[in-house]
Amino acid sequence: RQPGETPFIAPLDMALAGAGQHAVETVQIDQFAEDATFSLPFVPTSLVADPSNDLLAQVAITRSAQLSSCPAR
């Protein structure tokens, strides 16, 4: 990043899987660093950012210590 540089605004798909289930959630990226929260009917054990490789981007994912199950939908 260069001083004064602004981030691109783009949707970013996130593929989540766990317990034999999967979901794709889309996050609107408009900052250099984003936080995302997903309400899923399962506890995810894997996450893949941009599973279709649509964006030319460097993505780093930090796992939160606040993973918990949500009530079934």
pLDDT digit string, tens, across residues 16-67 = 999 999 999 999 988 888 888 888 899 889 999 999 998 887 777 777 666 5
**Cβ(41)–Cβ(15) under 8 Å?**
no
Top pLDDT among 6 and 38 is at 38
Rounded distance, CA 20 to CA 35, Å?
25
The SS3 assignment for 3 reads coil
What pLDDT is stored for residue 37 in this prediction?
85
**Cβ(24)–Cβ(14) under 8 Å?**
yes
- Please state whether the predicted TM-score (pTM) of the whole model is above 0.85: no
